[in-house]
Structure 1
Amino acid sequence: MTVSPTGAVKHDDARQARSEAAARRLLLSHAYKGRKRFCPRCRDETVYILADGRLRCGACRYTFHELTGRFVNVGGLSCRDWLRLTRLFARELTASTMAEELGLAYNTVYRAVTVLRFAIVAAAPDASQILFGETGRAMGYDGGRIVMSRDTASEGPIPVFGIIERPDWTFVDLVPDMRVEHVVHFNLSFSLKVARLGKVVYTDRYQHYDALMFCGGDDVRRYADILDRTPFLDTRRGGFWSFAQSRLRRFNGVSARRFPLYLKELEFRYNHRNEDILPILLTYLCSLVPKREQSDLF
């Protein structure tokens, strides 16, 4: 580790892990954080090693590997490739650029980046609300499994988020029971100001939120007649919205129901904008994938 001129810690582990064995040791250090090995199913620490190198829980008898049940175990990448990819993701490279630099297929990289985004959501304060409701199912999160090929075009309503911004942080909140139809109603009946950035529709202040926001998808033109281009976010300089706009423009082809992954990524990046996010991402990547029956633990 070194310190950058801005005072942020520079994490060099991903550069130093030049072998698969070293990369695995590094990821395991993020997975267990100095704790004893424990069962990913029941969390008991009575674990012993089998002759073939696998582990078995002495409490529930579950047999597993050291990275079983963790985000890093999804996608089929080697530990070294995960480290290299996460370093590039931290630098905000596109999936196509990452695929070229890593020498991997685009679909492989896109899947891995999606897993990273799910890991970011799983670490958020509102993870259970997002992952274990209709929004999570629409995104392809099935009670602990990430389903990449799921067609969600006709499933459920488009989620609406509320933006709460303070001087040093922002929170992107899934608004309970809020529907796109409500936003349209507030605009038409109560003059709630609305604007659009590509497929992203956002409003003026609403209750304790600085804005409501959703992705209109391919049919975003249906909201064109409710536009009023002077909402609160557009009157501010600096802050989360200034940070997010240029990045949102790079998210081409995002579906309305996968949009929450990108929005929560922006929340994470903004709230850690003065830090080296690589070690945080590695910890998220090596965390256990939350399952419905374990959601109260996350």
Structure 2
Amino acid sequence: MQETAVFDTSMLDSEEAALEYLLSFCWPSGVQFCPRCGQHKLYTLSGGRYRCANCKYTFQDFSGRWINNGSLSSSTWLHLAHMFLQEYTVHELAQEVNLSYNAAYKAVTTIRFALLAHATDARQLLGPETGLGKYIKGKKLTGAPPARAKGAIPVFGIMERNGWVFIDLISGIEAETVFHFNHSFHLSLFRAGNIIYTGKYRQYDALILCGDDSLPYEYIRKYDHEFPIKEGSFWEFAHSRLKRFKGITPQRFPLYLKELEFRYNNRDGDILSMLLSQLCDLVPDFDPFKK
């Protein structure tokens, strides 16, 4: 198996070195194959293209992969990924790599989709309960999908065990149900902008959701205490970050939750290599709305 090159910040200034580094994640075995049918017999064409001997598909190294969104250079992608992990804002990213805000935002969104797509519950999160799957069409991210159905605000459960956090989409519980639990059963609710989180609920350390203007925030009970945060826990890691999330819609909220899950669970590993591996992976080829 081909070894992935060690990251060297000098690659940020070399398109050739950055491309070679990213290709080590696209083809970790060192053997290229057709992203459409998996055939290994390929013909080399001009302009860095290949043609599959089996299905005749013509493609490039990044074809069908998350990194193929945005038409950015390899050095730009590498720079963006490096800064994303350092938690730069989109405005800061755009200025640093000389991109428009919209181009930087799309790139960061692509990274978040790649992370979500590698979660164990990716099929559910890209399904009809969130509508996120409608952002993906023909292996590419599109603009905003059709409007979210009124009242369909997903609720997630957060559970930490042995230093690992799991964030689950909870079927059958809507935002209004969480407010009902608060009003009728005294389930603690806390608010950070449009993000609502609760005290312990069943096996979950907390429930969490991102609301919109349809929710009755004024009915949240007032508490003299803050949400209990244990030192070294996921909540200590996530609490301040949640407060920084601005302008997030309920539909896109899972992207941010899965980003936090990825960051926390890989906090002690080579997180850049993990991120690049997922960014350079093929976009899943399934219909998320098909049972």
| TM-score, normalised relative to structure 2 | 0.88
Deviations 1:103-135, CA, capped at 9 Å, x for gaps: 111111011000000011011111111113331
- Is there any run of 5+ residues in structure 2 with no aligned partner, and where? 1-5
Q: Secondary structure at the match of 2:13?
A: coil
- AA in 1 matched with 2:212: G
From 71, 91, 116, the equivalent of 2:86 is 91
Cα distance change on mapping 1:279 and 1:138 into 2, 3 Å: closer
Deviations 1:5-31, CA, capped at 9 Å, x for gaps: xxxxxx533533532222211111011
Cα distance change on mapping 1:263 and 1:32 into 2, 3 Å: same
Q: 1:87 Cα deviation (Å)?
A: 0.8
| TM-score, normalised relative to structure 1 | 0.86
Q: Which moved more, 1:246-255 or 1:127-136?
A: 127-136
Distance 1:228 1:171 in 2: 28
Cα contact 2:139–2:283 (8 A) shared by 1: yes
Cα distance change on mapping 1:135 and 1:142 into 2, 3 Å: farther
- Is there any run of 5+ residues in structure 1 with no aligned partner, and where? 1-10
Cα distance change on mapping 1:223 and 1:95 into 2, 3 Å: same
Deviations 1:37-96, CA, capped at 9 Å, x for gaps: 111112222322235542122222222111100011001111111011111111111110
From 109, 129, 137, the equivalent of 2:104 is 109
> Which contiguous aligned blocks of 4+ residues in structure 1 show a shift greater than 6 angstroms?
none
Aligned to 1:163: 158
Pair 1:206-2:216 in alignment: no
Pair 1:69-2:39 in alignment: no
Cα contact 2:127–2:133 (8 A) shared by 1: no
Q: How many residues align?
A: 286
Within a 5 Å distance, the mapping from 1:7-156 to structure 2 comes to 12-16=7-11, 18-51=13-46, 53-137=48-132, 140-142=135-137, 144-150=139-145, 152=147, 154=149
Pair 1:261-2:255 in alignment: yes
Aligned to 2:3: none
Aligned to 1:7: none
Distance 2:40 2:223 in 1: 57
Cα contact 2:26–2:280 (8 A) shared by 1: yes
Q: Which has the higher helix share?
A: 1
- AA in 2 matched with 1:44: Q
Cα distance change on mapping 1:123 and 1:30 into 2, 3 Å: same
Deviations 1:169-200, CA, capped at 9 Å, x for gaps: 10111112321122223223333222212211
Cα contact 2:229–2:235 (8 A) shared by 1: no
Cα contact 1:38–1:47 (8 A) shared by 2: yes
Cα distance change on mapping 1:143 and 1:214 into 2, 3 Å: farther
Within a 5 Å distance, the mapping from 1:240-259 to structure 2 comes to 240-259=234-253
Q: Secondary structure at the match of 1:175?
A: strand
* % identical aligned pairs: 45
RMSD between aligned residues:
2.7
Distance 1:96 1:45 in 2: 42
Cα distance change on mapping 1:235 and 1:279 into 2, 3 Å: closer
Deviations 1:145-184, CA, capped at 9 Å, x for gaps: 3223446355671111110112311011111232112222
- AA in 2 matched with 1:265: E
- AA in 2 matched with 1:178: I
- AA in 2 matched with 1:50: L
- AA in 2 matched with 1:47: L
Distance 1:58 1:293 in 2: 27
Deviations 1:238-269, CA, capped at 9 Å, x for gaps: 31111111111221111121111111111111
Pair 1:270-2:273 in alignment: no
Q: Which moved more, 1:256-265 or 1:268-277?
A: 268-277
Cα distance change on mapping 1:152 and 1:294 into 2, 3 Å: closer
- AA in 2 matched with 1:225: Y
